[in-house]
Structure 1
Amino acid sequence: MKKLKSLSLIALFILGIGNTEVTAQNANAKLVHTQIVEKSADDVWKIVRNLDFAKYTKAVSNVKVTGKYGAGATRVCTAPDGKSQFKESILAYDDTNRTYTYAVVEGVPVKGLVNNFKVIDLGYNKSMIVWWSNYESFIQNPQMNEEQFTAFMKSSLTEIVTNMANDA
């Protein structure tokens, strides 16, 4: 029975049924991180949907969420040094489809940074966390070049998604 379930899941992915949403949503993304989780999508979404994500990354020590929870809310994320901050605006939030989108509007050396989270139900008590990011342009500055920024983002994406998956 287990072998049949595994073969069914593999067949879905070969046919493209299992990943069409992911491909359609991040085809032009500059950064993408995905992780399979051995938990239901609902269980994983309970973790991912929380807008206060400080416990999942070393890069943020505190998150302050203001406004109505969901689309329209804002977050101020403070770095461990207590001085550096970045501000975010929640653009879209959908519990039904297990997804949210937010823009980083201040505090990073890029213009138009938009990040997206999605939890996809893979069936058989499995799910996938997908986080993809896009930005318009890098802003030259003395603290960091674009290669360093991309490395930081990749590291953060991996750390946050991995820690969320482990917490689910």
Structure 2
Amino acid sequence: MKKRIETTHTLDASLDQVWKNVRTGAEWERWLPILSGSKVEGEGKGAKRVCVMHDGNELFETILESDDQQKLFQYSIDKQSFMPISDVVGTMRFSESNGETKLEWNVEFEVENEEVFAQVKPGIEEIYTTSSQKLAELSR
């Protein structure tokens, strides 16, 4: 079954600086605490990224969109083994709000049932909240 998680975060940092730290998909381990490293091959739409987690698990991703005008970053997780979900597409939309940055970070994925969704939802939300805070710190 297809599920969606929607989150909104306010980052105490300028939109331009936040976007600069996101737009290429590179070095997200600087602000995404579950990652220990990453490598991007290519640039922009269609680029491939491998993210390494602290436990050694890897995420194989494709950058679907990196739009400098709309401040939109979208990615798919093509292969991963640490969560019981599949067909993952994450979307990050950034906008300026009173000198701060508003981040709408949403994810859609397939999951077996409601029970599994209830198990993974809090973890994903926590990752997004913590990462947003770290991104704001890095962007100040």
> TM class by shorter-chain length?
0.7 to 0.9
**How many angstroms does 1:127 deviate by?**
2.2
Name the counterpart of 2:94.
Answer: 119
1:80 equivalent among 43, 48, 54: 54
**How many angstroms does 1:76 deviate by?**
0.8
Q: Write the distance in 2 (CA, Å) between the matches of 1:29 and 1:39.
A: 31
Name the counterpart of 2:12.
Answer: 38
SS state at 2:123 partner = helix
SS state at 1:57 partner = coil
Name the counterpart of 2:38.
Answer: 63
Q: Write the distance in 1 (CA, Å) between the matches of 2:96 and 2:67.
A: 15
Amino acid at match of 2:13: K
Determine which structure has the larger helix proportion and give its number. Answer: 1
Does residue 90 of structure 1 match 2:63? yes
Does residue 53 of structure 1 match 2:28? yes
TM-score (structure 1 length as normaliser): 0.70
Determine which structure has the larger strand proportion and give its number. Answer: 2
2:118 equivalent among 136, 147, 165: 147
Q: 1:58 to 1:36 in 2, by over 3 A?
A: closer
Aligned residues between the structures: 133
Instruction: Note if contact 1:29-1:132 (Cα within 8 Å) is conserved in structure 2.
Output: no
TM-score (structure 2 length as normaliser): 0.83
Moved over 4 A (4+): none
Amino acid at match of 1:119: F
**How many angstroms does 1:128 deviate by?**
0.7
| Overall identity of the aligned pairs, in % | 24
**How many angstroms does 1:93 deviate by?**
1.1
Post-superposition CA distance 1:112-152 (Å, at most 9, x none) = 21001111022x422211211111x2158xxxx43332222
Query: RCO (CA 8 Å, sep 6+): is it higher in 1 or 2?
Result: 2
1:165 equivalent among 114, 136, 139: 136
Q: Write the distance in 2 (CA, Å) between the matches of 1:43 and 1:58.
A: 19
Instruction: Note if contact 2:15-2:95 (Cα within 8 Å) is conserved in structure 1.
Output: yes
